[in-house]
Every structure is written in structure tokens, then in C-alpha cells.
Structure 1
Amino acid sequence: MPLFRHHVFSFRRLWAPLAVLLISSCAARPPHEPGTFRAPELVELQKLDPTIQLDIRYATARNFVGRPVYAQARAFLQRPAAEALVQVNQELAPLGYRLLVFDGYRPWRVTKLFWDLTPPDKKEFVADPSKGSRHNRGCAVDLSLWDVAAGREVPMTGEYDEMSPRSYVAYAGGTPEQRAARDLLRRHMEAHGFTVLPAEWWHFDYKEWKAYPIQDMPFEKL
């Protein structure tokens, strides 16, 4: 059984009914931020580079929530971040890999839902909606490597969205091959202006994230 399924089962016993939380999240509003921000320019990743692979878990039931929270399986980033990601994807091609994207821009209401669903001892794995997420700004991306020859996701030290120490960037377990793949991904992402989140090997923030406002626009309106 995939590791993330165990965590979904465990958390469900602690969570309030999802329907109630969805209503609460939709009724809430993003925090107000003073200051001047760049005009958002969210672009769809596969329109820039169709060879980027997608596995938008939040458009399926295969995620830690256990059901879809997106109506569409699409991935967006602010243009500078998206163009940098395309460079990473092209750089990996001669090595036999492509990027496999799980999530990019995330509406604020989904961040609030994740926060409300997650038990206190697992909050390090989700963003505080009172501050907003870098995903909400269109400057964070969740991804892994895709093995082109094998036609599958490259095994890493832990599953995507797994809320355990296996997700830590510094986790010393797993196989040498898994750690090497995790570190390869990090090196190439960091070379193009992204910084990894210490608690999540798959989460990378783009260097200019502070320049963009928190957004709550659903995919259907982009």
C-alpha cells in the first residue's frame, strides 16, 4: 500500500467533515497585504513546454485529503518561475528525465482547507493561511522526476505529500539511488533560482515569490 494512503486513513479519524470545511474555506477571504506587488501573470506550464509531465494529485482522490479539491488537472506559475522551470526540464532531458509536476499555483481557499484538515502535529507540512502560501502567489511548485525510458515516476525517499521524516530534504534513509535522484532534482532546481523547502523534498519556491500577491482565483477562471 502506498505510504500516503496510510496517512490519509490515520488523519481521517481526526478531521471534521470535509463538506463543512469546504464551505468554510470558500466563505473565508485571503489576508490583506499592504504594499505594492507585480501584476500576476500566471501561465500554464504545458503550454510553455508540453514535455513537462503532469500528475495533478489534487484533481484526483489520490492525495492526503482523499478526494479532489481541484476541478481541473492543470498547473500554473508566474511567468518568470515557469520559464525557469522549462529550463530545468530541458536541462534534464539529456539525462533521460523530465519534470513531473504535482502542483503549482494553488488558490488560497485550498491552502485554508489543507490547514483546517491537518492535525496540529503535522502543521509543518502545510502553509498557514493567515500568512498565505507561496503556492498562492504562483511561485511554488511541487514536483519530482519522470524517467522517460521507463515511463514512470522516479522513486524518491518518500511519497509526495507524505507527512513523515521521509519527506525531509536531509532524510538519510531510503536507498542510495533514491537519495541520488532527490539530490539531482534539487541541484538542477537550485541552479535556476528555486529553493527547496527543508520539510518537503518535492516543494520548491522561486526566488521572486515576495514580489507577487496572494491569489484565490480558481483554475476555471485563468
Structure 2
Amino acid sequence: MYSVNKELLNSLEKNIYSILIQEIKRNNTLSITDAASICDCSPSKISKFVHKLGFKNYKEYLAFISGKTATVITNESERLNKFLENFNSEIIDEFTAYIQKFEKIILFGYGPSFIAGQYFEYKLRNLLEIPIWAVAHETSINDLLSKNNLVIIFSVTGQFKSFKELYENVISKNSKVAFILEENRTEFLEAYDYTITLSNYLQNPELLPHEKTRTTFFAFIEAVIKKLENSFFENTKQKI
């Protein structure tokens, strides 16, 4: 599981991010020394940059951005076991804190991914005292959208339909978008500010997006809800 939130970066780090995305497309074995040279900074600055994004080291960052971490596992039970073994609770903590900054949450997904949004809406309504809506159509987002809202988009592959117009509309309203993807999409990392990639372990590539399972979404949702519940109970104890 990986989280890339460009909102955490300063202007210099955002410039490094943009440069390295393009360079790694051309050279997926780019060394940290060469990366530093291209970005006109020191290797230690590159190390600090990747740590700030949540990666253990430059090697892990390079593997993720280049897509080298992805492995197809057609046996679903084995794939889900691998996913759970590599579950990153720190990303859950960060995301849980992030969603509590907004005045409204809108959940969106195409096809079966919308069902994950509906389930998340049901769970969140019991824990957050803000409007929360799961919608199946982009026009519904536009009707609900106002300032300081968060639109959470669920997508297994990110390939069913472009999110560019929707994203730009949300940003124009001074709101934010968070993508929850199962599979890593380099173009999403390049174009959007906040992307959580759930798994390195891909489903059968012969399956169409709507045929793939959404099990990782529900595991992610349950972990977020559990974190929120724990925070709620802790706050309640302190008030007592």
C-alpha cells in the first residue's frame, strides 16, 4: 500500500516530483546520484523527499513509480493474503486525519466501485458530524459540491473513464480529490495531488475492470472506520 500526497511537499519538492516522474518514465533504473544531478540538488535531498512522501528509501520509490513492484496473482485468496501481509496502517492514520479536515465528503465510483462508496457512506455517517454522500454520477457531484469539500474516488484500474474534467471542476471550487486505487497508475501520480494505491498484487489482467473484485476497498474502509471509532471513544473518555 502506498500513499502519494503532493500537498505535503514544498515548491522545491514539487519540482523534484515533476522532474523525476518524467525521468523515471524514460529510465526506470535511474540512480539516486543521477536523480540528484538532474534535479540540481544533493542525494540527501532526494532521500528526504522520498521519505516525506512515505517511502522507506529511494529504491522503494523508484520501484513504485516505475511499476516494478506490481505482480499479477491470479489466485484471489493468495492475492488477498499478500495484500493483508503488506497492509500499511500508517497510511490509514494519515488518511483518517485528512478526511476530518473537510466540511463535506462526497464518495464516487463507476459501476461496482460505487458500491464501495455507498458502504463507506453508511459507515462514516455514524462517526462524522458532516454531510456525507455517495453518488453514482458526476453531475450529482457538481450539484453537491461547495467550498472545502473532499471528493473520494474509488477505482480499481483508473482506466474506465477519464477523471480529468471532474478533478478540475472540484479544484476550481476550492475543494480536494483523493483517489483510492487498487492498481498503481503512473499517470494518476503525475496528474493528481493525492493518490492511495492499495496493492502491488494485481488481479487477473484478462478480467475487465467491472469484473474485478473490490475486496481491498472494503478492507481499507474497515481499517479507516476502526481508526475513527478508536478516536471517537478516546475523545469520549477524555470528556468524561
Q: Quick check: TM above 0.5? A: no
TM-score scaled by structure 1?
A: 0.26
| Greater C-alpha Rg | 2
TM-score normalized by the length of structure 2: 0.25
